[in-house]
Amino acid sequence: MIITGEREIRLVTWNEAHFHQLYPLANNPKIAMNLKDSYPQPYTIHDARHWIEHNQKYNPPQNFAVEFEGRLAGSVGSDRGKDELRTNMELGFWVGEPFWGKGIATEAVKLYTKYIFEKFDIERIFAQVYDFNGQSMNVLEKAGYFPEAILKKAFVKNSTVGDIFQYVNIRGEQ
């Protein structure tokens, strides 16, 4: 599946063509510091293989490669809530350092949000951002998300405790 946006930005189902581009782009501590600890660091060729294979089982797809001008630039996806939280999806995204500052993440989040509301019976998409990651907060706001909550002292990263800023996009309120 391919979702096309503006300025040669595309969301593409993860496939073998992304394999050799993924691990060198994803293996960056500057990316890992802004993501959950489950994100591998260092990010190896084996992690890339596992991620691509894991995502090939979803129909419709839930996670996409973000391409810019035909090259892998990052990733966008979500996890659906379980049981009584099944009307929620938690958004995650990253863009490789060579592509920072180009508006790629904002466009990818906009395209992805539209896709999710069209394909899935969910009511809300939320994202949680560490207090030091103002760039991702800006991406979310530009993509139509609004601040919902601040979870005080909710994370520990590199031995530092901080706040999580939660952003949300609710069906029909965009």
Answer whether 5's CB lies under 8 Å from 105's CB.
no
Q: What H or E segment, with its residue span, contains residue 22?
A: helix 19-26
Query: What is the distance between the alpha carbons of residues 47 and 135, in angstroms, rounded to a whole number?
Result: 26
pTM, full prediction: 0.94
In which band, very low, low, confident or very high, does the pLDDT at 87 lie, cut at 50, 70 and 90? Answer: very high
The pLDDT value given to residue 58: 84
pLDDT of residue 123: 96
Grouping H, G, I as helix, E, B as strand and the rest as coil, residue 166 is strand
| pLDDT in the model for residue 158 | 86
Contact in structure between 89 and 117 (CB atoms under 8 Å): no
User: What does the pLDDT look like over 103-132, one tens digit per residue?
Assistant: 999 999 999 999 999 999 999 999 999 999
Report whether 146 contacts 154 (CB < 8 A).
no
* pLDDT value, residue 110: 96
More confident residue, 59 or 100: 100
